[in-house]
Amino acid sequence: MKISVTVNGTRYERDVEPRTLLVHFLREDLGLTGTHVGCDTSYCGACTVLVDGRSVKSCTFLAVAADGAEITTVEGLAADGELHPVQEGFWERHGLQCGFCTPGMIMSSVALLEENPSPSEAEIRHALEGNLCRCTGYHNIVLAVQYAAAKLRGEQPPPADWEEVGA
C-alpha cells in the first residue's frame, strides 16, 4: 500500500505491506534506528514515538495507520544541533546508562510536558509507567524530566539532589 507520512519534518511516500509495523518502517525503511525494540508485547516503551503529537508505541501501530500523519522520533528533536530541553535534561541529570530505553523515555516525556508543563513528581511517574528501564533505577529520569519542565517554562531548572547537598 502507498502511504505518505511526514517524519521529523521530511515527507516520505513509500510502498509498505499492510502488516508492516510503524517501528519497522521507521527503522528498516527510513533507517531511523534511534527508535528501539525491547519487547514483543507492547510493554517496554522503547519504541515510543509521537504521531500527530501523541505518544504511541510504534511496535503496536501499523505503518498504514500513520498515513497522512506527522511523526516525530528521537532523531527529530534536536534543532540545528541544539538539544531539545528533554534531551538536555537526560544528558544533564544522568538520566541514562545503557541508553536503550532513552529514546522512548524522552518521547514519552516530551508528550507529557506538552500536555502538562508543570507535572508533579507523581504525575511524571504516572506518565512514564509504560516505559521500562533496567539500568538507572528511574531516579535520575525523574530529575531529567523536572529539569526539562523548568527549562521549557523558561525557568532555571531546580538543582539536582546532589547539588542541594553541595557535592
Partner 1 sequence: MSLGISIVRDDARAKVTGAARYPGDRVGPDLLHAVVVFSGRPHARMVSMDVRPAFAVPGVVEVVTAGDIPVNEYGLTMFDQPVLVGVDGTGRARVASDVSRWEADQIAVVVAETPEAAAAGAVALDVDWEDLPVVADLEAALTDEVLVHPEAGTNRYVHHRIRKGSPEAGWAAADVVVEGTYRLPHQEHAYLQPEAAVAYLDDDDRITVEIAGQWTHEDREQIAHALDLPPERIRVRYPAIGGAFGGREDMSLQIVMAAAVRKLAARGIRRPVRCVWSREESIVGHHKRHRGIVHARWGATREGVVVVAEVDAYLDAGAYNYTTNKVLGNLHLTVAGPYEIPNLRVDSWGVYTNAVPGGAFRGFGAPQGAFVAENQMNRLAEALGIDPVELRRRNVIQEGSVGPTQVPFPAGVSMPAVIDACAEAAERPVAVPPPAIPFASLPADESRLRRGRGFACAFKNVGFSFGFPERCEATIELHGDDEVERVVLHHAGADVGQGAHTAFRQMAAEAVGVPLERVEAVWSDTAVTGDSGSASASRLTFMAGNAILGAAEEAEKRWRDGDRPAIGEFRYVPPPTEPFDPDTGRGDVNFAYGYVAEAVEVTVDVGTGHVHVDRVVCAVDVGRAINPRLVEGQVHGAIVQAHGYALTERLVVEGATIRNPRLSQYLIPGIGDVPAHVEAVIVEHPDPVGPWGARGMAEMPFIPYAPAVVAAIHDATGVWFDEIPLTPDRVLAGLRRAGVAQ
For residue 157, the 8-state DSSP code is P
Residues from 33 through 52 that contact ligand FES (CB under 6 A): 37-39, 42-47
Phi/psi at 22 (5° precision) = -55, -40
CA 112/CA 141 separation, integer angstroms = 13
In the numeric block, which cell numbers belong to residue 102? 532513552
In the numeric block, which cell numbers belong to residue 158? 531546580
Q: Does 122 bind partner 1 (CB under 8 A)?
A: yes
Q: Nearest-CA neighbor of 114 among 162, 33, 52? A: 52
Residues from 131 through 150 that contact ligand FES (CB under 6 A): 133-136
Q: Does 109 bind ligand FES (CB under 6 A)?
A: no
Q: How far is residue 34 CA from its own chain's centroid?
A: 10
For partner 1, the binding residue among 110, 133, 148, 149 (CB under 8 A) is 133
The residues of the shown chain that bind ligand FES, judged by CB under 6 A, are: 37-39, 42-47, 57, 59, 96-101, 133-136
The residues of the shown chain that bind partner 1, judged by CB under 8 A, are: 27-28, 31-44, 46, 73-75, 77-78, 83, 87-88, 90-92, 94, 96-103, 106, 121-122, 125-126, 128-129, 131-142, 162, 167
